[in-house]
Amino acid sequence: MKPSIPAATVDEYLAGQPEAVRPKLEQVRAAIRKAVPDAVEIIGYGMPGYKLNGKAMLYFAAFRNHYSLFAASGTFLSQLKDELAGYKVSKGGVQFPLDKPVPVKLITRIAKLRAAGLSPESKSASPRNRG
C-alpha cells in the first residue's frame, strides 16, 4: 500500500490516479480551463480545484466508481435540472459514471455558470444595488 501523501499540484493529483480514470479527469480539467481561462488551478480539500476572483469556483475528484464535480456553491445547479437528469446530483456536486463518455459540454456549461456567479458584475446586478 503506498503512503497517502496529498498532491501539491493538479498534475501530481492526476498522475496519482488509476490509468482508467486519468483520461477522464484530463478531459474535465481541459473543459474547465477552456471555459474559464482566467480561473487559477489549486489543490483544495485534497482535490484539484479552481478559483476565480479569489473565490473557490469548482473542484473535481476521482472515486472508485465515478468522478465528481463539486461547485463551491450549488445554488445554480437547479438551472441545469434537465441536463443533469440521469446523473446523481447532491447539494453541491454531480457524479459522473466512469463507464460513460465525459459530458464535456455539460461540464463547460457548469464552469461558465459558476464563473458568472463569481464575476464582479454579478454582484452589481443584485437587487440591493438597483437604483
Q: What is the CATH number of the domain that holds 39?
A: 3.90.1150.200
How many independent structural domains does the chain possess? 1
- For residue 74, the enclosing domain spans 10-117
Does 129 have pLDDT greater than 70?
no
What residues have CB less than 8 Å from 107, skipping those under 6 apart?
A: 28, 31, 32, 35, 69
In this prediction, residues 18-27 reach a mean pLDDT of 94
Predicted local distance difference test score (pLDDT) of residue 39: 96
Predicted local distance difference test score (pLDDT) of residue 121: 67
- All three cell numbers of 21, joined, read 480514470
The 10 Å CB-count burial string (b at 16+, else e) for 33-53 is: eebbeebeebbeeebbbbbbe
Predicted local distance difference test score (pLDDT) of residue 16: 94
Percentage of the chain modeled with pLDDT above 70? 86
- 128 in a structural domain: no
What is the pTM assigned to this prediction? 0.85
- 82 in a structural domain: yes
What residues have CB less than 8 Å from 124, skipping those under 6 apart?
A: none
